[in-house]
Structure 1
Amino acid sequence: MADHYSSFSRHSTGWLLQRLTAVFLIGVLAFHFMLLHFVNHAYEITFMGTQARMQEPGYLLTMVAFLVTAAFHGINGVYNALVNQGLEGTQRVVVKYGLAIAGVLLVAQGIRVAMAMTGTTIL
């Protein structure tokens, strides 16, 4: 039988964050589907409705938390999958920081869009 290998050290911070973000994402995704696919059907979703939802502080904070959590979870997962495939040395460092920069840019742009939806602009 093949040995099990994972780049995650069990019970490390990265291991714990990957699992906690998964739980959070499942909950927020359920909220998203319930609100935007069952309470309001797809044909009822409008730009103005989105702006109205984003102007609610609780909804805005939930969506920003969703963005940050999903970005971390996805980028951390991709990075660890690459490490599990044998990425090491300089390539590992380049990929690590490249993904980190991409994640920061993704979150920054997502927050800019969210703020624009509220009628507030930043940078």
Structure 2
Amino acid sequence: MAERYSSFQDGTQRWLWQRITAAFLVVVLAFHFFLLHFVNHASEVTFGMSQARMSEWTYLSLMVLFLVTATFHGVNGVYNALVNQGLTGQKLAAVKWTLVVASVLLIVQGLRTAAAWSTLV
């Protein structure tokens, strides 16, 4: 019989947040595909249309939350995969802080881009 395998220990904060962010990302990605691939076709989308969407507080807030959530979900998954591969000690600490710095840079650049597209900020 196959053993149950998970990259996380049950009941930990990282395990819980990985599942919460996954559920949120599924919903937001469905919204994205519906809006940008069924309501408007990709070839019809212009910068002006994108700027108009990003100039609504609800859409801007959702996209910023999407950015932070996707970054956390991806980085948390990579970190835990490396832990599962047996990475420990100083190498794990170096990878952890590299991922933290990369995450911060990604979020800052995403916020700068969102601000440039929005007329609200």
Determine whether 1:52 maps to 2:57.
no
CA distance in 2, matches of 1:33, 1:8: 30
What is the match of residue 25 of structure 1? 25
Percent identity of paired positions between Structure 1 and Structure 2 = 60
- Equivalent pairs, count: 121
CA distance in 2, matches of 1:42, 1:71: 24
CA deviations over 1:9-63 (Å, ceiling 9, x no partner): 2111110000000000000000000000000001111111100100000000000
Report the AA paired with residue 70 of structure 1. Answer: A
CA distance in 2, matches of 1:18, 1:101: 20
Report the AA paired with residue 77 of structure 1. Answer: G
CA deviations over 1:45-102 (Å, ceiling 9, x no partner): 1111100100000000000000000000000001111111111110000001110110
CA distance in 2, matches of 1:39, 1:2: 44
What is the match of residue 12 of structure 2? 12
What is the match of residue 97 of structure 1? 97
Q: TM-score, normalised by structure 2?
A: 0.93
CA distance in 1, matches of 2:79, 2:104: 15
* Structure 2, gaps ≥5 residues long: none
| Alpha-carbon distance, 1:4 to partner | 5.9
CA distance in 1, matches of 2:45, 2:106: 24
CA distance in 1, matches of 2:116, 2:25: 24
Report the AA paired with residue 38 of structure 1. Answer: F
Structure 1 vs Structure 2 CA RMSD: 1.7
Report the AA paired with residue 45 of structure 2. Answer: I
SS in 2 for 1:86: coil
Report the AA paired with residue 12 of structure 2. Answer: S
* Structure 1, gaps ≥5 residues long: none
CA 89–2 in structure 1, closer or farther in 2 if over 3 Å, else same:
farther
What is the match of residue 43 of structure 1? 43
